[in-house]
Amino acid sequence: MRFVRIWAVRFLSLFHKRRLDARLDEELRFHLEMQARDHEAGGMSPKAARRAARSALAADGPGWSVESLKEEVRARRGVPALETLGQDLRYALRMMRKSPGFTAVSLLSLAFGVGTNCAIFSVVDALLLKTLPVDGAERLVVLEKSARGDPQPLFSYLAWRLLQQSAPVCSGVMAMTSDFTAVVRPLGGPAVAGGTGGGIGDAVETARAQLVSGNFFPTLGAGMAVGRWFTAEEDAVPGGHAVAVISYGYWQRRFGRDPGVVGRALRVNGLPVTVVGVARRGFHGAIADAAPDVFLPVTLREAVRYEGGIESDGPKLAGRPIWEQVHDHWLVLLARRQPGVSVARASAALNVLFQRDKEARFATAGSAQEKQELMAQRLVLEPAARGLSHLRRQLTSPLLLLTAVAGLVLLIACGNLANLLLARADRRQKEMALRLGIGAGRGRLLRQLLTESLLLAGLGGALGVACAGWGSRLLLGLARPPTAATSRSSGRRRPCQAGLEEANDTDLA
């Protein structure tokens, strides 16, 4: 306790050094004057009295003077380690200014090495390492039907309804589609069918939307910032409930975090829907590299004119809606295992249910080849703690390769810098000899050099991290195929392009 107090006092005294120095000066002057006065009273001449007062100091030891006494007091006052560090840093900065060429080359090579690694690692982390920001993500699995090692991730609406009866092993089977771009525009009042939103001059606003099942939010364990999620009842009737949950980011961007957004109407691809809630900050669904702005019930598929991703493996039932088609597969299914239920047990139980879906499809299947294919299908559960991803499958091995290359680049940058430092140390031999000659300790010199190197490394690293931001944007821009970019809204494409242009600029510089 006392120890902490003493060091706190010493640390604080760093901040009013000048005042404390002045105080010590005045005290010592006063002391000497008083002593001289007393000597004078004893019959000395004023001059002799002053000399005697000064020489009294020498009784403390050889070579004692007012200055060395001050030094002694100062050493006990502040935090010597910190003060030396300050001195070393100032000196190191001066050295850096004195050789701008060396500084620029070493900083740039470090920044490049560190920046490349940061950029690549941030993509690797987001895509390959980070788990979804939901509770118990390790119990999430994605369902795939596999025939002879060829996994297909899509299911029909009826298959999803069947698989939902797996309560003993799964706390929920969620359905969702891929995310898509929709024209989204807020309306003034509550939703009115057929009403028009906005004047002619309004720019077309687009946002990312995703269809998800009613149990999506509760099963993922996603909290809400405002309002509520939609329930399983609200996605039971096709087209029945026009409701939406918006993401925290969209709420912030588009509505300035206005809590009154709950109850407001949005027009999504022409369909008026009522916002019932805002998902909590950081929740972005179950796709690692997508961030939907608007979540809608899967039953709004037709109403919001989502046309993506139907895979058919048999003839359509004439005149029936998509909800009743056993051969139209368009839903991605995620399940959360109950605690303590192994993947194998959950898989076995789900396969029993899946058998009934297979039978339904078998009855209406067309060719003999289709039937054979169907019989071979089995349900496979893949861990989905890290969420699904559009890019993961294609990018895993290129990313790992890039990571290795980036590591090499950093290694080369370090080697390069080490060489530069060595060459400089050679040039500085005279300086070192001089400093040793006038009494600097070896430890002190070592500390000085270490401080210089650390400062260089720290600045280079900081510069690298600063560059990493646009580096990873550039990387993602390159990873996205150009055809996908054209299908996206112009607003989405701009950051990648900006990243590319920035990169070109620096290449030329």
Partner 1 sequence: MKDEAESDDAKAELLQGTLDLVVLRTLALGPMHGYGIAQRIQQISRDVLRVNQGSLYPALLRLEQQGWITSEWGTSDNNRRARFYSLTRGGRRQLAAETERWARFSEAIGRLLMA
The least CB distance from residue 75 to partner 1, in Å, is 9
Nearer to partner 1, 71 or 359 (CB): 71
Q: Residue 478 and residue 164: Cα distance in Å, rounded?
A: 39
Nearer to partner 1, 68 or 504 (CB): 68
Q: Which residues contact 390 (CB under 8 A, 6 or more apart)?
A: 178, 287, 289, 290
Q: Which helix (H) or strand (E) holds 143?
A: strand 140-147
The least CB distance from residue 387 to partner 1, in Å, is 57
φ and ψ at residue 213, rounded to 5 degrees: -80, 165
DSSP E strands: which ranges in 204-293?
A: 206-212, 224-227, 243-246, 265-268, 271-279
The least CB distance from residue 386 to partner 1, in Å, is 55
R_g of the chain computed on alpha carbons: 36
Q: Residue 296 and residue 216: Cα distance in Å, rounded?
A: 11
The least CB distance from residue 31 to partner 1, in Å, is 5
Please tell me what DSSP assigns to residue 293: S
Q: Residue 299 and residue 296: Cα distance in Å, rounded?
A: 8
Q: Residue 15 and residue 78: Cα distance in Å, rounded?
A: 9
Tokens at 194, concatenated: 């057929």
Nearer to partner 1, 30 or 263 (CB): 30
The least CB distance from residue 83 to partner 1, in Å, is 16
Nearer to partner 1, 28 or 385 (CB): 28
Q: Residue 226 and residue 214: Cα distance in Å, rounded?
A: 17
Helix (H, G, I), strand (E, B) or coil at 199: coil
Q: Which residues contact 95 (CB under 8 A, 6 or more apart)?
A: 452
The least CB distance from residue 498 to partner 1, in Å, is 57
**Inter-residue long-range contacts of 403-411, CB under 8 Å, 24+ positions, other chains counted:** 403/120, 403/121, 403/124, 406/116, 406/117, 406/120, 406/121, 407/117, 409/112, 409/113, 409/116, 409/117, 410/113, 410/114, 410/116, 410/117
The least CB distance from residue 85 to partner 1, in Å, is 21
Nearer to partner 1, 54 or 493 (CB): 54
Nearer to partner 1, 31 or 447 (CB): 31
The least CB distance from residue 5 to partner 1, in Å, is 6
Nearer to partner 1, 34 or 478 (CB): 34
Q: Residue 144 and residue 296: Cα distance in Å, rounded?
A: 23
Nearer to partner 1, 49 or 298 (CB): 49
Residue 216: half-sphere exposure toward Cβ, Cα within 13 Å: 30
Nearer to partner 1, 10 or 392 (CB): 10
Report the interface residues with partner 1, using CB under 8 A.
2, 5-6, 9-10, 23-24, 26-28, 30-31, 33-35, 37-38, 56-57, 59-61, 64, 69, 72-73, 76-77
Nearer to partner 1, 81 or 438 (CB): 81
The least CB distance from residue 82 to partner 1, in Å, is 16
Among candidates 200, 332, 180, which has minimal Cα distance to 268? 180
Backbone dihedral region for residue 31 (phi beyond 0: left; psi -120 to 50: alpha; all else: beta) = alpha
Confirm if 357 and 162 have CB atoms less than 8 A apart. Answer: yes
Nearer to partner 1, 73 or 224 (CB): 73
Place of tokens 């109407």: 265
The least CB distance from residue 63 to partner 1, in Å, is 11
Nearer to partner 1, 34 or 446 (CB): 34
DSSP E strands: which ranges in 213-360?
A: 224-227, 243-246, 265-268, 271-279, 294-297, 311-312, 328-329, 331-337
The least CB distance from residue 3 to partner 1, in Å, is 10
Helix (H, G, I), strand (E, B) or coil at 99: coil
The least CB distance from residue 86 to partner 1, in Å, is 21
